[in-house]
A and B are shown apart, each in its own frame.
Chain A
Amino acid sequence: MKAVYFAWVRERVGKAEEELNPPPTVRTIEDLVAWLSRQGEGYAHAFEKPSTVRAAIDRVHARHDAPIAGAKEIAFFPPMTGG
């Protein structure tokens, strides 16, 4: 699956997007956040407070307990500040 990052999540991770191949035990957004935060210092910093990071699955907002099976694109970003 493809992961895309925005705003300070992107800056902390150090890239805008990448291809991810998490192990099969990673079933939900929450699992993915926990797995990603073990992938290096930037990831650990980006996901240090998981509740402050929002997620979307295939361009639709998703809760952290949402399953990721079949997802093509998962996005992580801070709470929105548009408008």
Chain B
Amino acid sequence: MADVRVQREDFDAGAEAAALARGRKDVGAIVSFVGYCRDEGGRLAALELEHYPGMAEEEMIRVVREAESRWPLIGVTAIHRYGRIAPGEQIVLVAVASAHRGEAFAAAEMLMDFLKTRAPFWKRAVRTDGVAEGWVEAKGEDEASAARWGAAEN
């Protein structure tokens, strides 16, 4: 059910979402979210994403299991890229299929909140002006968003 991938390559978000319903008659809703690299008003040349190989996949699977324990989901696909990503490129995909829209919306949002705060990825910003690049700092609001869902069970 859960399809979790950590990869350098780009992905086809539309095809991934459509694949969740292919050949099925019980899917009533698919919600997908794609996170993009933005240029921060022209200041950002690229993001370099570092990850913890092995744990990144395992933690994403734990996050998906957490969502599956809370809502009746039919399928989940989560893809997170690493390496150099330019503004306008896709970084992350979460797609959720369920019988009704409510659980698909909620699960997709929880998945993203938990992926941001628990999946071991770190962004380094490469600036267009060539000035020192730096590690992106974690935002308190991301922790607050994740905390809305209560403590994770694992």
Contact = CB atoms under 8 A, between A and B. Distances in A.
Chain B at the A interface: SS class: mixed
A7 B138 contact: no
Contacts of A61: 59, 118
B122 A77 contact: yes
A79 B143 CA distance: 10
Given A7-B124, A7-B135, A8-B135, A82 B119 contact: yes
B132 interface: no
A56 B135 contact: no
Contacts, number: 72
Interface string B91-113: 11000000000000000000010
Interface residues of B, number: 28
Contacts of A81: 116, 121-123, 135-138
Q: How large is the interface on A (under 10, 10 to 19, 20 to 34, 35 or more residues)?
A: 10 to 19
Interface string A37-72: 000000000000000000010011100000000000
Interface in A23-44: none
Interface string B75-92: 000001000000000011
Given A61-B118, A78-B122, A78-B138, A83 B35 contact: yes
B58 interface: yes
A60, A75, A81, most chain B CB atoms within 10 A:
A81
B111 to A, nearest CB: 10
A52 B142 CA distance: 15
Interface string B117-134: 111111110000000000
B54 A80 contact: no
Contacts of A80: 116-122, 138
Contacts of B46: none
A82 B138 contact: no
A3 interface: no
B51 interface: yes
A81 B47 CA distance: 11
B121 A83 contact: yes
A82 B123 contact: yes
Interface of A: 4, 6-8, 56, 59-61, 75, 77-83
